[in-house]
Structure 1
């Protein structure tokens, strides 16, 4: 069974808004590129899919925008080329190497985990909460930003039951960011 990994940036006070942390740098983009490349398929909710698509989809002319720095290109390439499954009850269709998933979430994700491959990756806020409630997440990576946001969506806010985690890896960035990788304990 391939693992389902959840990774997200989070501030010291638990905010998961994508603009709440410190600005990405070369080191953080290398980390996120490796996260994307470690999965066969990205599992995205509608909001995350549309946000990532607006930022990281290669333009029709094939030329990345001028605002994109050279150190961002590996991440852009990884995100753009990744296979994606989008969980949404409101979208009628998706593209960008994506397939729309409908139906029973638990059944669908369990079936994806049974397929051969190196793993699934999920990001965002709402979909990971539902997957955590179902006990389907095999690994959590919290990229802790040295910032107190004071507002915004919170990490796994509304989780029905406590999940005990065991630390399996830690990586400190020069910026003060710390990536903490956990697996469910027991």
Structure 2
């Protein structure tokens, strides 16, 4: 069964909004590129899918936009070619190597986890909260940025029950950011 990993940038005070001072640097972008390339498929809600598509879909011209740094291109290429599953009750169609995931969330995601492969990667805010409440996330990966946002949506706000985690991976960046990966603790511990 594929591992479902929730990955996101977050500030020290828990803000997970992409405009809260979380711009990637070259080192963290290489990290995210490596992580993206390990995933068999990506799972997004509508908002995250549309945001990622607007930022990272290769233009029809075949040339990446001028605003994109050279060190961002490998990430853009990795996400552009990735298989994507989009959970949405409002979209009627998707493209960009994507397919709609319909029906009840729990059974639909369990089916995706049972498909061949190693890693299903989920990003965003609302969808991961619902998946965490259903106990479907196998790993939580946060790149904690040395920033205090003071406002904005916070990580997993509204989680129904506390989830005990154990640290399974840690990497520190020159910027002061740290990538932390956790797994839920077994209920038998």
Q: Name the SS of the counterpart of 1:141 in structure 2.
A: strand
Deviates further, 21-30 or 119-128: 21-30
Pairwise CA RMSD: 0.8
1:123 maps to 2:123: yes
In the alignment, the residues of structure 1 paired with residue 16 and residue 67 of structure 2 have an alpha-carbon distance, to the nearest angstrom, of 24
Is residue 86–residue 99 contact of structure 2 (8 Å, CA) maintained in 1?
Answer: yes
The normalised TM-score by structure 1 is 0.98
Determine the structure 2 residue equivalent to 1:48.
48
Unaligned runs of 5+ in 1: none
Which digits, 9 at most, give the CA deviation of each residue in 1:23-69, with x for residues without a partner? 21110110111121111110000110000000000000111111111
In the TM superposition, what are the counterparts of 1:14-29 in structure 2 within 5 Å? 14-29=14-29
* Structure 1 residue 21, shift from structure 2 partner: 3.2
Determine the structure 2 residue equivalent to 1:184.
184
In the alignment, the residues of structure 2 paired with residue 56 and residue 23 of structure 1 have an alpha-carbon distance, to the nearest angstrom, of 14
- Tell me the matched-pair count: 186
In the TM superposition, structure 1's runs of 4+ consecutive aligned residues that sit over 2 Å from their partners are none
Unaligned runs of 5+ in 2: none
Determine the structure 2 residue equivalent to 1:171.
171
Which digits, 9 at most, give the CA deviation of each residue in 1:136-157, with x for residues without a partner? 0000011111111111011000
* Structure 1 residue 20, shift from structure 2 partner: 1.3
In the alignment, the residues of structure 1 paired with residue 14 and residue 105 of structure 2 have an alpha-carbon distance, to the nearest angstrom, of 26
